[in-house]
């Protein structure tokens, strides 16, 4: 049992709390700068979203402090190790004169009228006089994301419905999700279709005026869903299977690029027949296997052509799941992909090589980006860093309809969200830091969050004809 006596809890007044000039959010040039300059940096950099954060602080000012401020006491000052952005907001609300310009000064003067705050405002703090212990906390919070898992679209929708803040669109999604959970389908398929990997394409079809009209869908007075066409639930099975397969039974693609218009959706829905319903049952039966204990599971690796469930297991022994199939025709890049998928072990084995995987993962990301740009006919400026390249490629993909905005959310985090476990700085540390070592679970979690991007990137190239 690990005993840690380095930490104590106190309530500390705002006037006795100081920002940390060695915070990772600051470059070296901010060492030993005064607090007003540190506050100016937070305000001037849009990524920190100080104004948006301030509005949230005002809105929830009456709530208990959910997250404590982490303090390193160096014998002279209480220095904020975790919570610098929050303390910046509170200091500006307490004293708008600290704002770096008149516009922000007026903003904080106005917002301050909504709350009661002064120098003696108390914060719940956890304090240590051991800097190494402080770094342990920072690494857990910012490098490992505090081991939290973000809500997906379905979780957010469920919350809004239960909170009483749901739109009609969200109420519809919850009602259909309930129908799905009652379908005679393997649980794996239900989880897959409502998970991160497929939910966007599925709802693009289902939540459309074409579906409402075709199946006679409407809301009852009591808020329940009325569906006049009794074939809806059977057709729903076909739609689920087709979306997971990424094609219908005629071989036509089912993805974000093929079912954008109502006309395309109408054509697809009208093509569904009773024979297709029977085909789904047959396909499921042929891909279902039993174990020695009488349990059953569907062979998704064979039957779902690259589908992925949510959440993905991080118990696998390699970075890339076997279920992920990328068709890469550039020899070197394909070799790296194969090594990450089949050769370089992660986990508790003595043969595990997380440092090698971390470095090669970063290489695979960059050369995939470079290859995409080269083959799509555009180039980067010589001084463009990897984060900039990622943003340019994501913009290109969205503009040219290779992907929709939500599908690019995670790869954009790599380039822009410095607080995310996906941040590019973490990838850089795998190569350049002699202290930082990637954990197998973090590496696999990163791949799981970026797999869709790689599938879109490599799926954008036409398959070469075999001679």
- pLDDT above 70: percentage of residues in the chain: 81
Dihedrals φ, ψ of 20, to 5°? -105, 115
pLDDT, tens digit (0-9, with 9 covering 90-100), for 411-453? 999 999 887 888 899 899 888 888 778 888 888 889 989 999 9
Structure confidence at residue 23 (pLDDT): 72
What is the model's pLDDT at position 292?
40
Structure tokens at 322: 């076997």
Identify the weakest region by mean pLDDT among 120-129, 197-206, 277-286, 356-365: 197-206
Using pLDDT thresholds of 50, 70 and 90, give the confidence band for residue 174.
Answer: confident
Kindly indicate the confidence band of residue 29, based on its pLDDT and cuts at 50, 70 and 90. Answer: low
Residue 312 has pLDDT above 50, yes or no: no
Strand extents, DSSP E, 86-238: 122-128, 217-219, 225-227
Per-residue model confidence as pLDDT tens digits over 224-267: 788 999 899 999 999 988 888 888 888 888 876 677 788 888 88
- Whole-angstrom CA distances from 164 to 157, 238, 268 are 11, 32, 34
- Domain range summary for the chain, segments of one domain joined by +: 7-143, 153-301, 316-459
Cβ contact 244:192 at 8 Å: yes
Q: Which of 248, 246, 162, 177 is nearest to 207 (CA)?
A: 177
Mean pLDDT of 270-297: 70
Please state the rounded mean pLDDT for residues 36-42.
88
d(CA 101, CA 410): 34
* Two structure tokens written together for 125: 């703090």
Q: pTM for the complete prediction?
A: 0.39
Q: What is the Cα–Cα distance from 21 to 315, expressed in whole angstroms?
A: 39
């Amino acid at each position: 049992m690990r005993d840690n006596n380095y930490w104590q809890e106190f309530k500390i007044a705002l006037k006795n709390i100081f920002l940390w000039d060695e915070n990772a959010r600051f470059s070296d040039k901010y060492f030993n700068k005064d607090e007003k300059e540190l506050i100016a940096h937070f305000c001037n950099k849009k990524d920190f979203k100080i104004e948006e954060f301030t509005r949230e602080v005002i809105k929830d000012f009456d709530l208990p402090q959910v997250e404590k401020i982490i303090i390193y006491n160096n014998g002279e000052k209480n220095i904020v190790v975790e919570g610098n952005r929050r303390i910046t907001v509170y200091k500006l609300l307490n004293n708008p004169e600290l704002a770096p310009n008149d516009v922000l000064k007026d903003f904080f003067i106005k917002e301050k009228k909504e709350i009661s705050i002064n120098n003696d405002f108390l914060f719940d703090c956890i304090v240590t006089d051991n800097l190494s212990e402080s770094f342990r906390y920072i690494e857990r919070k910012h490098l490992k994301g505090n081991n939290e898992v973000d809500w997906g679209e379905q979780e957010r929708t469920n919350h809004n419905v239960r909170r009483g803040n749901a739109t009609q669109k969200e109420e519809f999604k919850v009602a259909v999700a309930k129908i799905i959970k009652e379908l005679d389908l393997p649980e794996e398929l239900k989880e897959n279709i409502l998970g991160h990997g497929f939910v966007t394409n599925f709802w693009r079809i289902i939540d459309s005026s074409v579906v409402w009209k075709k199946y006679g869908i409407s809301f009852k007075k009591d808020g329940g869903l009325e569906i006049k066409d009794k074939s809806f639930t059977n057709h729903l099975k076909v739609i689920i299977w087709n979306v997971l397969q990424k094609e219908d039974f005629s071989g036509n693609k089912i993805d974000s690029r093929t079912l954008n218009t109502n006309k395309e959706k109408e054509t697809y829905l009208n093509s569904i027949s009773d024979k297709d319903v029977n085909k789904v049952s047959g396909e499921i039966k042929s891909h279902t296997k039993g174990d020695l204990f009488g349990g059953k599971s569907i062979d998704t690796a064979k039957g779902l052509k690259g589908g992925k469930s949510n959440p993905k297991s991080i118990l696998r022994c390699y970075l890339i799941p076997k279920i992920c199939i990328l068709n890469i025709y550039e020899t070197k890049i394909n070799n790296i992909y194969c090594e990450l998928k089949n050769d370089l072990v992660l986990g508790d084995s003595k043969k595990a090589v997380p440092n090698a995987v971390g470095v090669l993962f970063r290489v695979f990301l960059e050369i995939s980006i470079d290859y995409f740009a080269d083959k799509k006919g555009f180039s980067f400026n010589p001084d463009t860093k990897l984060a900039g390249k990622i943003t340019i490629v994501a913009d290109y993909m969205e503009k040219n309809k290779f992907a929709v905005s939500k599908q690019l959310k995670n790869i954009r985090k790599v380039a822009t969200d410095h607080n995310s476990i996906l941040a590019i700085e973490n990838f850089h540390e795998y190569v350049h830091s002699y202290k930082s070592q990637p954990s197998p679970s973090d590496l696999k979690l990163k791949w799981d969050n970026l797999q869709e991007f790689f599938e879109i990137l490599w799926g954008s190239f036409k398959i070469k004809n075999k001679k």
